[in-house]
Amino acid sequence: MSFDEKYAWPRSQQPASTPSPRGPRQRMVSPWLVSLLTFLVLCSLLVLGTSLWREYKALREADARNVYGTPREIEPRGDLSEVEKTNIAIYKRTKPAVVHITSMSVQRDEWTLNIQEVPEGTGSGFIWDEGGHIVTNYHVIKSGPTALVTLADHSTYRATRIGAAPDKDLAVLRIDAPKGKLAPIRLGKSEDLQVGQMAYAIGNPFGLDLTLTTGVISALGREIQSVTKRTIKNVIQTDAAINPGNSGGPLLDSAGRLIGVNTAIYSPSGSSAGIGFAIPVDEVNRVVPQLIKKGKLERPGLGIQVFNDQISRNLGANKGTLVYQVLPGSAAARAGIRPTQRTPTGDILRGDIISAIDDQPIAKANDLFDILEKYKVGDTVSVTVIRDDEEVKLQVTLGSAD
């Protein structure tokens, strides 16, 4: 008996066939085919969306280029401030007077043995007069016997050294340039300067020509050492940036007048730290004419040599400076100033102790030299000396210390 026969429903019990509410039975779609179609539709939408976004972005960028790709309207600036006008006027007026100096030395080439000039250093300077005299620092030109001077119009001339005052760190060069190219700097004075005044420096820091820096006068009456270790007094301190290459250039006031010669900076790094020093113009105006006329600074002197301060104190000079030697035929010899001597028995016979000149007290040896610098050769001064514990006043006509 077959399975169908064995388990066949009785005809009376077989379930009646009921029609499907959906109609005739249909074949079902495969699930993976549905997924594939869904994936393809999503990819098509993504590609279409990306394309539409790129087109939209391109249109925006094109619009932006059209809007922002044209020159903007210039906003009117208005007038310059008074400070700016002053700065510009000072620079324009003074620029033709400022020069760039290259110190030259002569060397022999070690391979060809040819003698050639090579640069030794650079600095700044300024035109003093229509005779072609150039003022600068002594330390700018001390390393070479010759120098090249470049004017504001970039024309260059060979300069000759006219005179130098190493103790004052000042020197004068001369160039043979047409008068039309020589614009002498305008002179001011330094005796009435005040802390807080505006100060302007023009020079060639780091070889960058004609640079203007501004600041104020920070202090007055400073002291610095020259290349000879002599003290330069009454130096101007400024915070106008002064860097290597500024040396020898002018320091100006707000009227564009020379008030000092930039000569040194105080800086551990060698660059501007806001403390610069300038030789006062009153000293410059006293020294430069002598350098032009005589080639050196004529210093008035008594014609004496003095002990250093330590020895003076050890020999009983509690104040002033003790005379060690009086030069024969000198101003001091004619006035009767006595030197220190050693007796035949070896004892020291103390000489005169100079304690004042024209009632200006002398506490140490440098005071004597500083006071004498205020006078000229030929001036007569009253010299107060302590002799045998008594004060004696002598009239001395100053001679030359050189």
What are the residue numbers of the active site?
139, 169, 247
Instruction: Check: CB of residue 256 under 8 Å from CB of residue 268.
Output: no
Q: What is the DSSP string of 242-304?
A: --TT-TT-EEE-TTS-EEEEEEEE--SSSS--S-EEEEEHHHHHHHHHHHHHHSS---EE-SE
Instruction: For tokens 């080439």, name the residue.
Output: 109
* d(C-alpha 356, C-alpha 371), whole Å: 9
Give the whole-angstrom CA distance, residue 52 versus residue 63: 16
> How many CB atoms sit inside 10 A of residue 319's CB?
15
CB 140 within 8 A of CB 226: no
Which are the contacts of 264, defined by CB distance < 8 A and separation ≥ 6?
Answer: 224, 247, 276, 277
187 DSSP 8-state letter: B
User: Can you say whether residue 295 is alpha, beta or left, with left for phi > 0 and alpha for psi between -120 and 50 degrees?
Assistant: left
